[in-house]
Each structure stands twice: as C-alpha cells, then as structure tokens.
Chains A and B, each alone.
Chain A
Amino acid sequence: MQLNPSEISDLIKKKIENFDLSTQVHTEGTVVSVTDGIVRVHGLSQAMQGEMLEFPGNTFGMALNLERDSVGAVVLGSYQHISEGDTVKCTGKILEVPVGEALLGRVVDALGNPIDAKGVIDTTEFSPIEKIAPGVIARQSVEEPVQLGLKSIDAMIPVGRGQRELIIGDRQTGKTAIAIDAIINQKGTGIKCIYVAIGQKRSSIANVVRKLEEHDALAHTIIVVASASESAALQFIAPYTGCTMGEYFRDKGEDALIIYDDLTKQAWAYRQVSLLLRRPPGREAYPGDVFYLHSRLLERASRINAAEVEKLTGGKVKGKTGSLTALPIIETQGGDVSAFVPTNVISITDGQIFLESNLFNSGIRPAVNAGLSVSRVGGAAQTKIIKKLGGGTRLDLAQYRELAAFAQFASDLDESTRKQIERGQRVTELMKQNQYSPMSVAQMAVSLFAANEGFLDTVEVNKVLNFEAALQSYMKSEHTELMANINATGDFNNDISTGIRSAIETFVKTHSW
C-alpha cells in the first residue's frame, strides 16, 4: 500500500483530532532482574495472571508468576534493551491479537503483526488469546466431514468438523505434507484454514507459504509463525493466537481448520519458560501443567450449535453451526509414542493418524499405519459413499497385515489366502498418493470401488497406480455428470453403483494403462 505524504499528514491529523486526553491510572513496578527473556518485577501488586505488561521501548510482556512481592513475566520479543530499574506498567488487559477476515491470505507473527510485507492488516477487532472453551450446552456432535483429500485418510480415518485428530510420527514421515494437502483441499469448500508454525526453520515456513500460493490455497489461509529464532515465549503463545483467529470464524457460524505444526516444540518452549521461571520440573523436566497446556488449547476446537452462534453474533447469524477442527502435529523420537507429550496429546485428541518411517521409506506415501491410526468420532461424519466403500478397504488391509508375513510362500498357500494377500498388496499400492494432489469424493469413490469389486485383481501390483491415473482421467472426461453427482450428494445407491461399475467395465475393455 503506497501512501502519499499529504495522506499521511491527514491520517495523523485525524488521529490527533480523535485522541481523547485522559488521565492514566495504572500500577507500576520496577524490573529487578532480566534473565533469558524472563523478567522479575517488584511491585505491580494489582497484576492479573496472563496480563499484558508494558516495558519501555514499546515492548510487551505477559505476567505468568504472581508472587507475594514480585511478578515473573516473559518478554514477548526482544529483551536486550530492558535493564534493572526500568519501569513496568500494567495495561489491565489480557494479551489480545487481531482477528477477522482481513487476516486471510496473510502471514503473521505470534502477536498478529504482519510479517509478509503486504502492508497493515485492516481489522479493528481484537480478541484475547486465552479463552475458555465452549461449554457442553453450546456444543453439537460432529457430523459433517472435513475432506483431507487423501484416500488413505478419508477412507479409513475420517475427520469430522470440530474434531481433534492428531498427526503423529517421527521426523521426515510426511506430517506437514498431510497438513498442507488438507489446506489445499479446502479450496472452495468455505473452510478457512489456519496454519500455526511453531519452532520451525524459516526456510521451511517460506516453502509452505510458497506451495500454498502455487496451489492457490493461501487466500483462505492464515499463517501464524513463531519460528525457531523467535523467543520461547512467542513459540509458547503462537498456538493460542492461531486458535483465537480460528474461533472468530467458528463463532460466526463458519467452519475452520487449524493445524498446529508442531506441539512438541511448543511444549519445549513452555518447558524453557517454566524452568526459567523456576517452576518445579516434573517428568522429562516438563512442568506440572504441560497436560493442561495442550488440553485447554485442544478443547477450544469444537463444533457449536446454531443457538450458540446466534447468541455470539447477537442474532445476526441464524440456523448455522460453527466448527473449529484441529489437526495437532506431534513429532516422536524414534517412534516412541509412550513419551510424555505424545501420550498426553493422544489421550486428549479424538484419534490419531500414525505415520511410520519404515512405511515412508518403503515408498508408501502418505506413510499411514492403518492399524494404529484411529478416528474416534469421524465415522459419524463420513460421506455415505466413502463410508460404504472405505469399510472394505480397511478390512482388506487388516487381513493383509495378518497374512503379510506369509507372502513369500505364495505358492504353498491355499487359494483364498493367496487372494487375500494379492488384494492386500493392491489396496496398499492404491493407498499411495502423490503430494499436492488431493482427490475429490467422487475420485476416491471410483478408486475404492475398483478395489472393492475386484477390478484391480487382474492388474499387476506395480501397475496399480497407472491404472488408477488412467481410470481417473477417463472418468473425468467421459463421465463428468456422474462424478459431479457424487461430489454434490455423496450418496451411494444402486444407480450410482451401476453407473460406476459400467464405467469401469467399459474402461477396462477399451483402455490400456
């Protein structure tokens, strides 16, 4: 945004005109010590827990420890210019960040300041970062799906609007890839996305932003960044910031999807802050409230009913439910899910997508372990057609896993066992999917139908993906109407079933792959 000098002076004039001169009443304290971003302040007897404190040089902090004679606070941002004896003011406000539609398509830091050089964010609404999750009366059960666009996940581990589904796995297993695909697939669905990057390299964040831009998915996305180079305090509050921005959409009857990438690093940042505040360490040196740290965050992801939306919007939005779906990401070390933070978050969420490095390395991408991954509430939200067709896939894979060990003795096995193994191999192959190519419900339905009805049984295992690609392009060009119908209704009935069957039969007869 370019401004000419006269406009600037006009703006300033207006601001001065509207400036109300009030006498300020506040409480003050003095900085006693500054250590690694932790400031001890003497005085401030009126400070609230979580209150924003004002330091000299337009720096803000957050009061975390309220003690008898002093307050322990974290500085949000750089603290090099703060020294002993500086005056600290109470602001009387809990930390707030900007919210609103204007944030969509923007990259902001943990305090909501833009960092993408696209100018100021034009919003007047602010909201506190720590809020209490909606109560039981305000909630509604999960019954609409969020399509992630990945066959293996949407078919076997469905995610519903308002659900919390954990993505867990070692480093380099494609956790972020699933999240990015999920965001790309929300294009045109009306689901707003928030991607919170915590403790990541700036280069990887830049990559994510670029990829989203390339796939035209940035326009419905807010990216909240607390990179590895930012202070632990900012990394600790970033998820709450993102959640507040997502709640804005939920509370006005829209749907939003938030991705916390990743909560392990947030727990590390919180551990650092807690230890520097001299809170007693517990297991793995995490403070006692690390469970509450994540549970209060993930509780805020929810589906709220129409009455609550009406109440929150003051009657402006009627008859619409709102939802905030959360996909927290946890990075495990050496596949150890029994470490402290992973077990905590597994127990909080409504299911997990478990990614394994040996699957990833053997070329099964997304590297979803179908046996260990579950979705506790998503089944109720699944599209009818995917539910019907995906059930078979799950069963095929489960049976295959039991028998996979015998696969090398194929010649000695009886007919039915061999068939099951072969089906399993083909379904496993079919579950592979390239990055950045999410599929629609109809595309998934066709692929799953082909597998269920045995059309793949005559295809060689290493040709399965070619077969699928050819089939998809055939369906796209020759059966546009059928596909559009499936996408629109999501129903599965005899008409659709025979439609798909005859289409695939014609394809098998007339095409090669």
Chain B
Amino acid sequence: MSELATLARPYAVAVFKRAKETDSAKTWSKNLAFLAAVLSDKSISGVIDDPKIGKSALSTLLLDICEGQLDQEGSNFLKLLIENNRLSLIVAIATIFETYKAEDEGSIDVDVSTAFAFTKESKQSFNATLEKAFGKKINMKIAVDSSLIGGVLVRAGDQVIDGSVRGQLQQLAQRL
C-alpha cells in the first residue's frame, strides 16, 4: 500500500499541477475516477496483466473503451501510464489526486460512524462543530454502526476522534 503511494505520488502531483494550470480539476477528477473504475473491472485487469498483449494493442483497446469519456489530456495520461507500465497505480493516483484537490479547496473528507442515525438538525449542528474543529469545509459520510453502543466516532484521514461508548469501555477495560 505504502509502496504504491510512493510510486503514484509523482503522477498525482503532475496531474494536479496540470489541472491547476488549466483550471480543470473537475474534469481530471472525473477522468481519473472513470479510469479507476474501468481498470478495477475484473475482465480488464486480466487483460492488463496478459503478457501476450503488447503495449500498442493495449492502448488502442483502452482508448476504445474510454471513447468519449476522456478528453485529449486524459487519453495522453492513459498512454503515458501504459508506456511506463504503471496502469496498476491508477487507483492510488486517483486517491492522492482527490486529497490534493480537497486540500486545495479547503475541504476535508470525514467518515462519521454513529450508533443512532442523525436527525436533520443534529446533523447540521454536528457538521458545524466539525467545521470549527478542523477549520475546513466538511464532506461528511455518515454510517450507522450499532456496535458503537452510543456516541460517535469521527475519522478524518489518520485522525480519529473517538467519542463512542465502545471506545470508553475499551479505555476502562485497559485502566482496570
């Protein structure tokens, strides 16, 4: 995982810089998401690893599949990846690109697990609290997880804010 990130970072950085230059972050985001979706398809991933299919054949095949979905720069990027044998990195590149994009926009992806579903008001006030805490716009993804027993667990990247009853019980167990 970490090795992939190391390899993918230069590509992601390059794409992000290009996107900033041409002010096309949204298009790139779509391009990358589409490519990631295509390449994680099982039938395609079999083809990519097939040593019998040459680079040029592979590039025609993939460009055909992506016909109409990719712009000129997007297809160039795809060709570059094929040329460098780095097609497998596309998912990692997309993830890193998205984090750069989010950082640039001043927003942050937050996964919230809660024991009980939020009401509309509580969700709004919770969102406001998180925005204050992180100082950024919050893209909240909410999941209901009854194993928390009560409270919420917030995950933003590496950071975890554990305000759940389960976490408190674990703390207590450790103290005893």
Q: For the complex formed, measure the closest distance between the CB of A212 and the CB atoms of chain B, giving whole angstroms.
A: 34
Q: Which of chain B's residues have a CB closer than 8 A to the CB of A89?
A: 160
Find chain B residues with CB under 8 A from A32 CB. 1-2
What residue of chain B has the Cβ atom nearest to residue A32's Cβ?
Answer: B1
Interface segment among B78-86, B138-146, B164-172: the answer is B164-172
A35-54 toward B: CB 8 Å interface, digit per residue (1/0)?
00000101111100000000
A3 contacts the other chain (Cβ, under 8 Å)? Answer: no
Are the C-beta atoms of A23 and B162 separated by less than 8 Å? yes
Is B122 in contact with chain A by the CB < 8 A criterion?
no
The reply to whether the CB of B33 lies closer than 8 angstroms to some CB of chain A is: no
1/0 per residue, CB under 8 A from A, across B149-176: the answer is 0000001011111110001100110111
**What is the bound-complex CA distance between A46 and B163, given in angstroms?**
20
Residue B6 at the chain A interface, CB threshold 8 Å: yes
- Whole-angstrom distance between the alpha carbons of A24 and B160 in the complex? 8
Provide the bound-state CA to CA distance between A68 and B175, in Å: 33
Is B168 a contact of A21 with CB atoms below 8 Å? yes
Flag if B162 contacts A69 (CB, 8 Å).
no
**Minimum distance in angstroms from A162 CB to a CB of chain B:** 40
- The reply on A27 being an interface residue by CB < 8 A is yes
Interface residues of A in 15-37 (CB under 8 A from B): 15-16, 19, 21-30, 32
Q: Is the CB of A27 within 8 A of B159?
A: yes
Q: Counting CB contacts under 8 A, is B112 at the interface?
A: no
The answer to whether A69 touches B2, judged by C-beta atoms less than 8 angstroms apart, is yes
- The CA of A169 and the CA of B171, in the complex, are separated in Å by 49
Is the beta-carbon distance between A24 and B158 smaller than 8 angstroms? no
Contacts of A23 in B (CB 8 A): 161-163
A58 interface residue (CB < 8 Å to B): yes
The answer to whether B162 and A26 have CB atoms under 8 Å apart is yes
Instruction: Find out whether the CB atom of B175 lies under 8 angstroms from the CB atom of A15.
Output: yes
Whether B158 and A43, one on each chain, are in contact in the complex, defined by CB atoms closer than 8 angstroms, is yes
Q: What CA separation (Å) do A223 and B99 show in the bound complex?
A: 51
The reply to whether A24 and B171 contact each other, CB–CB distance below 8 Å, is: yes
Contacts of B175 in A (CB 8 A): 15, 19
Q: Is A67 an interface residue (CB 8 A)?
A: yes
Give the total of B residues in contact with A, Cβ under 8 Å: 21
Is there an interface contact between B176 and A12, defined as CB atoms closer than 8 Å? yes
Asked if B172 contacts A16 (CB within 8 A), the reply is: yes
Whether A25 pairs with B161 at a CB distance below 8 angstroms is: yes
Would you call A68 and B6 a contact (CB within 8 A)? Answer: yes
Q: Report the separation of the CA atoms of residues A21 and B151 in the bound assembly, to the nearest whole angstrom.
A: 12
CB distance A24 to B162 under 8 Å? yes
Q: List B contacts of A69 (CB < 8 A).
A: 1-3, 5-6
Question: Is A399 an interface residue when CB atoms closer than 8 A count as contact?
Answer: no
Residues of A within 8 A of B168 (CB): 21
Q: Which of A390-429 contact B (CB under 8 A)?
A: none
Residues of chain A within 8 A of B171, CB atoms compared: 19, 21-22, 24
Give the residues in chain A near B158, CB-CB below 8 Å: 27-29, 43-46
| Among B1, B157, B168, residue most surrounded by chain A Cβ atoms (within 10 Å) | B1
Asked, given contacts A24-B167, A25-B161, whether A42 binds B172 with beta carbons under 8 Å apart, the answer is no
Cross-chain contact of B160 among A21, A28, A40 (Cβ < 8 A): A28
Cβ contact within 8 Å between B161 and A42: no
A24-B161 Cα distance, complex, nearest whole Å: 6
Identify B174's interface contact among A40, A43, A58, CB under 8 A. Answer: A58
Residue of A nearest to B152 (CB): A23
Pairwise interchain contact A42-B162, C-beta atoms closer than 8 A:
no
Shortest beta-carbon distance, A24 to chain B, in Å?
4
A99 to B174, CA, bound (A): 21
A16 (CB) vs chain B CBs: closest residue: B172
Residues of A close to B172: CB separation below 8 A: 16, 19
**A344 within 8 Å of B (CB atoms):** no
How many angstroms between the C-alpha atoms of A30 and B168 in the bound complex?
21
Question: In the complex the two chains form, is A70's CB within 8 Å of B157's CB?
Answer: no
**CB neighbours of B161 from chain A (8 A):** 23-25
What are the residues of chain A within 8 A of B167 when measuring CB–CB? 24
**CA of A398 to CA of B167, assembled, Å:** 71
Question: Within residues 1 to 60 of chain B, which ones have a CB less than 8 A from any CB in chain A?
Answer: 1-3, 5-6, 9
Q: From A15, A28, A29, give the contact of B176 (CB < 8 A).
A: A15
Nearest CB of B to A122, in Å? 17
Instruction: State whether B159 touches A42 (Cβ < 8 A).
Output: no
**Cross-chain contact of A26 among B2, B160, B176 (Cβ < 8 A):** B160
Q: From B157, which residue of chain A is reached at the shortest CB distance?
A: A45
Give the complex CA separation of A490 and B174 in angstroms: 55
Q: In the bound complex, what is the Cα–Cα distance between A29 and B157 (angstroms)? A: 9
Quick one: CB contact mask for B51-73 with A, threshold 8 Å, 1 for yes? 00000000000000000000000
A43 neighbours in B (Cβ, 8 Å) = 157-158
Q: Whose C-beta in chain B lies nearest to the C-beta of A44?
A: B158
Closest Cβ of chain B to A264, distance in Å, is 34
A27 to B, closest residue via Cβ = B158
Min C-beta distance of A404 to chain B, whole Å: 64
**A30: nearest chain-B partner, CB-CB:** B1
* Cα distance, A67 to B6, chains bound together (Å): 10
A69 to B6, CA, bound (A): 7
Give chain A nearest CB distance to B173 CB in angstroms: 9
Question: A29 — which chain B residues lie within 8 A by C-beta?
Answer: 158
A-B contact pairs, 5 of them (CB 8 A): A16-B172, A27-B159, A30-B1, A32-B1, A68-B5
Closest 4 CB pairs of A and B: A70-B2, A69-B2, A27-B158, A23-B163
* Extra contacts besides A24-B160, A69-B3, A69-B6 (10): CB < 8 Å: A19-B172, A22-B171, A23-B163, A24-B163, A25-B159, A25-B160, A29-B158, A43-B157, A45-B157, A70-B2
